[in-house]
Chain A
């Protein structure tokens, strides 16, 4: 009981300190800050400008300016032949996008959320991912499927699922998930330029967040490599892997752990498929402890794959069992308190990191 109370107090005091800390963290050599939304919009704009074969299609991408305003201004700039509002028929318009990619165009298909991609998943997997293989290289599919993925806020079970694990299990697809504005710009540009089908998993709650970007990132030729994770913060005691929104949580966690003398290495996966096993394993060989963090369902999730990879490649380096923090194994509830329990919180990640470092706080049951 006391232990839990102590933890809660710590948590609250951290909440007061954190905003100031994060402001300090965000100052870097460049003063420019852009939101993830602006990053995605500018990436689409620049790639459409550079290559006339790139076109956008999806629900409300044109006249509505994008359901989440990601495609704002693009209809006015490029016209209705390149920015196409579709009817609400995912199977039909996704198939049409894939067919256009067969012919050599470069479609960027938006799903209003990836929950709706399930209606089109046959085209993503069977028509897009497998075609280059089945045709022995004749039919490549240079298409990008993008949109918000995972939990938003209060949208309920049918609108909150994370699809990273499902898509990333399929050979022939590339699956990317940006965290900050630099990721958003660099990875989306890379995805559009890539000749293979790319599933690009954004996050609705990150769209409005601002991040600092350097001049290099703002240049129209900027591109990030596919298949390479980024070490957001170096550390020596425990490795935390995360993608998308959870990277932000992992960074907060690393600040909290530092106060307890635990230095966490935070890896922003950026690419779920191909997974950067090399960076992950190198990190675990250094820290000897691993926490995987994801928003999605735990069973057969991204963390399960990372854990297996580390056990296969770096077993003798592990000083503690691999810890998985994931969404709860339930459909997403609506009530705010239950929703909070269904998605990883910063405290969950801290607790797991301490367990891995043998610094656990005793459980409530004992009190």
Chain B
């Protein structure tokens, strides 16, 4: 019955779509098709030392529906993590990304898994967009064996090397030189791929960032520095931390682009532009104007340094998921009910993953001593009481 409902709505809307409705079967699946669609981004790009790309973004129904689903999944995942943290199933640090989903999703749409991404500690959604599973996320957050780092990393240390996601870093700003190093290696290996090194407005003032940028520009590395400007470095607003909060201009001799980071299509366009640029001309900076609904981490309510009106204002005016929803509805690519169904599905996926993650055991005690080295050489390592606990590193 659900299917026939879908078919009915499909036949209604397919007549409104232009070219290929006749070729389509009446049972158009909710995942959409690849027929090209051009959307104008609402906020123009601002450029520094380069020509901004066009505001007309090429997309298609399938991509838009994927954006919607992926962002809904990420949103649901982060909110579920909030509850798990409050239930004390997640310990230590937990930095949530809800509000910023468009950056992860738009970037992924512009690149391949051979391009590298490296980010800081607000990494759950970036990990998922690189192909990480919900089970790996929740299990890692809860310190279980099924986690992407087998429970040994925690929230800030998600990695997925097979899809070139290099973490997950706890030291503010360190990931930027590391990312430039990835770009160096890509150029050295002649891979014709690029690296996106993400950092926040707080990290943008780090000296090592400028050191890495200098070297990247000197050596023409295919490095794209992406400042996810959510306007607050922990509790410090950007105007209190940076003399010049025009982060896209801070590269001086390195070109930059300011992008509406709440618009997945604008992000996609900018990343596509940046990739082409970096492969030909070396580093470029992208500043994503975005926002996080949560505080800096779970121990920060997020409302002592910003007003609740500001937060709800952004949610009303700029929420990335709502924008895609409006776009999908206005182009009749799906009905409201279908989108709500997607959200329900996604919620169930998240709940199932959490249940599965809770079943995963904590690491074996012997795991304390594994992976200290890639090649342990049979040396001894010690526990707190070395006469009691010793291990040989393989």
Give the interface of A toward B (CB within 8 A).
55, 81, 84, 86-87, 89, 91-105, 122-123, 126-127, 131-140, 142, 171-172, 174, 194-196, 225-227, 274, 277, 312
Contacts and interface: CB of A to CB of B under 8 A. Distances in A.
A136 B149 contact: yes
Interface in B181-208: 181-186, 188-189, 207-208
A100 B184 contact: yes
Interface in B208-228: 208, 210-212, 214-215, 218-219
B174 A123 contact: yes
Interface string B54-82: 00000000000000000000000000000
Contacts of B23: none
Contact of A81 (B153, B160, B178, B188): B188
5 contacts: A93-B215, A96-B178, A99-B178, A132-B373, A137-B370
Contact of B379 (A97, A103, A227): A227
Given A95-B177, A123-B174, A134 B157 contact: yes
A161 to B, nearest CB: 22
B4 to A, nearest CB: 46
Pairs A-B, 5 closest by C-beta atoms: A99-B181, A95-B177, A92-B211, A103-B185, A89-B211
Nearest to A136: B150
Given A93-B215, A132-B374, A135-B371, 17 more contacts: A86-B215, A87-B215, A91-B177, A92-B214, A93-B177, A95-B176, A99-B181, A102-B182, A103-B182, A132-B371, A134-B168, A135-B149, A136-B151, A138-B161, A139-B166, A140-B374, A196-B374
A274 B374 CA distance: 14
From B178, B179, B181, residue with most partner A Cβ within 10 Å: B181
A200 to B, nearest CB: 16
From A95, A96, A97, A136, residue with most partner B Cβ within 10 Å: A96
B372 interface: yes
Contacts of A274: 377, 379-380
Contacts of A127: 169, 171, 174, 178
Contact of B186 (A95, A103, A136, A140): A103
Nearest to B210: A92
B137 interface: no
Interface residues of B, number: 52
Contacts of A195: 373-375
Contacts of A171: 372, 381
A177 to B, nearest CB: 17
B169 A133 contact: no
Contact of B185 (A99, A122, A138): A99
A139 B167 CA distance: 9
B142 interface: no
Contacts of B185: 99-100, 102-105
Contacts of A87: 211, 214-215, 218
A312 B386 CA distance: 9
A320 to B, nearest CB: 24
B116 A103 contact: yes
A124 to B, nearest CB: 11
Interface in B365-394: 370-375, 377, 379-381, 386-387
A136 B380 contact: no
A7 to B, nearest CB: 40
B188 A92 contact: no
Given A89-B215, A104-B185, A95 B178 contact: yes
B180 A96 contact: yes
Nearest to A193: B375
Nearest to A94: B177
